Amino acid sequence: MQAALNQDMNLAEAPLDQPLELLSLPSRPSLESRLRAMGVKPGCHLVVMRRGRPGGILHLRMGLLDFMLRRADAAQMEALPLSQNRVEALPDT
């Protein structure tokens, strides 16, 4: 089931290839710190590229940065799908 645009969802539920705006980070301080050090923070735009087997990891892309995240950690992160108009307004990376 694909989430409607402009509806918050957790990152683990986000559809593949849908540009998203990240709204929150996971509650675990060490992971939050690591993500922030990579530039992953609320307000950034990212895409879920692939999902591992059920319950597996997510392959995420933010600009030129590709990274993996456990699904349990992604479930603690809220995201908002970007409308096509907002995607077209994004600067090229």
Domain ranges of the chain: 18-88
pLDDT of residue 86: 53
pLDDT of residue 59: 97
Q: For the residues 5-31, what does the mean pLDDT come to? A: 90
pLDDT per residue over 31-89, tens digit each? 999 999 999 999 999 999 999 888 789 999 999 999 999 999 999 999 999 975 454 54
Helix, strand or coil, per DSSP, at residue 66: strand
Residue 15 — pLDDT band, cuts 50, 70, 90?
Answer: very high
- Domain covering 18-88 in this structure, CATH number: 2.30.30.90
This prediction's pTM: 0.79
User: At which residue do the structure tokens 């950034």 appear?
Assistant: 44
